[in-house]
């Protein structure tokens, strides 16, 4: 499914602008023209007469955007036709996130997408499709694509293309809206880091983990401090860190006695001829007590299946691209 692009069409009403628009659009008419009159094709328009704002608030897990829920009749263009959802509840972004748009070849590309998280009432976009009879089971598979470097989503069942094995399913953390799982132990970078991490957090029985489309690996603050103090990493700029020591590393997150996620070094680390680098960020603030957020490198080695009905997530190791 294509991302749902959203256009910020700010009205001249200051009250409306403050509630539902990017704050950079609410200064003056000249500012609105300069900042907000971006014309994306087939975008959603806030000026719809049937839009019904709901008194329900939401915020992104990374705290980079906030908004409210709304109801609307939605027409979604899909590969095999058009999907119409009557009176559909969706998240209306009111404050633009830091990564709302990127400039590419002098054109602004929107990054708004339909959310795959669960809502507070237990429903979700995938379950809405299932209840409407559009898919046979409330499962979404994230699969390899025939286009190198891209993924595809398979609604309504397991995707087995280019996978070496069947999916290993693990339960989701109860009471959370995100796809969050418990990790029994983790070996990240070298053994000493893992041992020190377990010592620092030996009172924590469960190490919670999430997954992201970002290229950034989110780690506990103490782990990053250790890597810096031991001169394994040095900050280059922003979230990019360069390696001062190139030693054998291991990246493993154990979930059950029978299953663990094992990533190759080249999946986590950008291994170049003249230097190694990695994108790392710490989880602060961290109200959900998450210990890890794996980067998008996970999808290059594993296919994922999000089972909304059974509240679990499945992992299956992928074949190499040359084998598909």
**β 217-219/276-282 pair status:** parallel
| End-to-end C-alpha distance for the chain, whole angstroms | 22
Strand residues in 249-294 grouped as ranges (E): 250-254, 260-263, 270-271, 276-282, 290-294
Residue 137 exposed, middle or buried by CB count within 10 Å (0-12, 13-18, 19+): middle
Token look-up 């990240």 returns: 188
Q: Where in the chain is the domain with CATH 2.40.70.10?
A: 168-323
**104-155 confidence digits (pLDDT tens):** 444 444 444 456 777 777 788 888 888 888 888 999 998 877 676 678 888 8
Per-residue pLDDT of the chain (324 residues; tens, 9 = 90+): 233 333 334 444 555 555 555 555 555 555 544 444 444 444 455 556 677 878 777 765 555 556 677 888 777 666 566 777 778 787 765 544 433 444 444 444 444 445 677 777 778 888 888 888 888 899 999 887 767 667 888 888 998 888 999 999 999 887 777 788 888 888 888 744 343 333 333 333 457 888 887 889 998 888 898 899 999 999 999 899 999 988 888 899 988 889 999 999 999 999 988 999 999 998 776 767 788 889 888 998 999 999 999 999 999 999 876 566
Domain 168-323 has CATH 3.40.920.10: no
**Rounded Cα gap, residues 49 and 261, in angstroms:** 48
Burial 17-31 (b: 16+ CB within 10 A, else e): beebbbeebbeeeee
Q: Which residues contact 170 (CB under 8 A, 6 or more apart)?
A: 181, 182, 255, 256, 259, 312, 313, 314, 315
Contact 68, 74 (CB under 8 A): no
């Amino acid at each position: 499914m294509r991302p749902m692009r959203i256009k910020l069409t700010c009205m001249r009403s200051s009250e409306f602008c403050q509630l539902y628009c990017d704050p950079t659009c609410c200064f003056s008419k000249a500012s609105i023209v300069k900042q907000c009159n971006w014309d994306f094709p087939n975008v959603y328009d806030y000026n719809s007469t049937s839009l019904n704002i709901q008194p329900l608030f939401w915020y992104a897990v990374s705290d980079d955007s906030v908004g409210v829920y709304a109801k609307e009749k939605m027409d979604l263009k899909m590969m095999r036709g058009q999907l119409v959802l009557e009176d559909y509840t969706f998240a209306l972004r009111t404050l633009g996130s830091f990564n709302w748009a990127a400039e590419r070849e002098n054109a602004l590309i929107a990054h708004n997408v339909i959310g795959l998280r669960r809502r507070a009432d237990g429903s979700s976009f995938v379950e809405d499709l299932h209840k409407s009879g559009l898919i046979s089971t409330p499962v979404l598979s994230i699969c390899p694509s025939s286009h190198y470097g891209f993924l595809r989503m398979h609604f309504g069942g397991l995707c087995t293309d280019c996978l070496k094995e069947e999916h290993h399913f693990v339960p989701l953390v109860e009471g959370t809206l995100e796809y969050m799982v418990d990790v029994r132990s983790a070996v990240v970078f070298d053994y000493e880091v893992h041992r020190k991490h377990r010592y620092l957090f030996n009172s924590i029985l469960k190490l919670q983990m999430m997954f992201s489309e970002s290229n950034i690996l989110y780690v506990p603050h103490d782990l990053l401090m250790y890597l810096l103090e031991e001169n394994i990493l040095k900050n280059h700029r922003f979230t990019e860190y360069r390696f001062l020591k190139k030693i054998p590393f291991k990246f493993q997150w154990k979930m059950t006695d029978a299953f663990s996620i094992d990533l190759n070094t080249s999946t986590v680390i950008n291994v170049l001829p003249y230097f190694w680098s990695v994108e790392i960020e710490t989880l602060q603030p961290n109200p959900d007590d998450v210990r890890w957020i794996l980067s998008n490198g996970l999808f290059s080695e594993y296919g994922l299946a999000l089972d909304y009905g059974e509240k679990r997530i499945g992992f299956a190791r992928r074949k190499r691209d040359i084998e598909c």
